[in-house]
Each structure stands twice: as C-alpha cells, then as structure tokens.
C-alpha cells in the first residue's frame, strides 16, 4: 500500500498569514493527489484534485503543487474560516490512503 506522510501535524498561524502543508508519498503517484479540509464534527470537503486543480467553488487563496512523491498545499492569506484540519489523499490505486492530517490553529 502507498503510505502518505503529512507535515507538520499542527500549524499555528494568524489571520493573513501564508501557510504551506507538505505531503509525501512512499512511491510515485504522478499527480493523483487530492486535498481535503475538515472542520470539527463535519464531513471533509475537497479543495484540490490532480495535485493542483482547484475544485469548483474553492477560494483562489488555496493552491496545490507537486508531482511524483512530493506535494504541497498553500493557503496564501489565512482567513478565519480556514482554521481546520487538512488531509491529503492519494488516489493512484486502491486502497486509497490519506495523510495523517494537519491541524491549522490560531
């Protein structure tokens, strides 16, 4: 199975800050990577797919990059609504695997 390693596990930031989250795959996954945002008590919501394509309706302050084994999610200017937990997901092959998550807190 493909292992996904996310870092950091927790990130403290302020409104207006730019932040970057990293996800590494244990083997090449080309660009078959998605990013999800999850708020407490809610289901996840997809932000980005194919490593860098923004899902419809997602604000442009979110961006993704990377390929093969190394990927990043960047939030250019944190807004109050962005404080949440973020997960990467590889979907090259089953079983799909998530990263451990990154909590972005104030």
Partner 1 sequence: QVHLVESGGGVVQPGRSLRLSCVASGFSFVSYGFHWVRQAPGKGLEWVAVISSDGENKYYADTVKGRFTVSRDTPKSTLYLQMDSLRIEDAAVYYCATVDRTEGTPLDWGPGTLVTVSS
Distance CA 35, CA 38 (A): 10
Interface residue with partner 1 among 80, 81, 94, 106 (CB under 8 A) is: 94
Among 3, 15, 18, 50, binds partner 1 (CB under 8 A): 50
Is 99 one of the binding residues for partner 1 (CB under 8 A)? yes
Question: By CB under 8 A, is residue 43 in contact with partner 1?
Answer: yes
- Kindly state the number of chain residues that form the binding site for partner 1, as judged by CB under 8 A: 22
What Cα–Cα distance (Å) separates residue 63 from each residue in 25, 49, 51? 19, 10, 9
> Smallest distance, Å, CB 67 to partner 1?
16
Name the one range near partner 1 by CB under 8 A: 20-28, 59-67, 75-83, 95-103: 95-103
61 Cβ contact list (under 8 Å, min separation 6): 75, 76, 77, 79, 82
């Amino acid at each position: 199975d493909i292992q996904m390693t996310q870092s950091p596990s927790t990130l403290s930031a302020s409104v207006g800050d730019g932040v970057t989250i990293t996800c590494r795959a244990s083997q090449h996954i080309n660009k078959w990577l998605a990013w999800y945002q999850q708020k407490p008590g809610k289901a996840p919501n997809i932000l980005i797919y194919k490593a860098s394509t923004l899902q419809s309706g997602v604000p442009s302050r979110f961006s993704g990059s990377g390929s093969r084994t190394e990927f990043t999610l960047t939030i250019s200017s944190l807004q109050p609504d962005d404080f949440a937990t973020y997960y990467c997901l590889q979907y090259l092959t089953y079983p799909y695997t998530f990263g451990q998550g990154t909590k972005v807190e104030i």
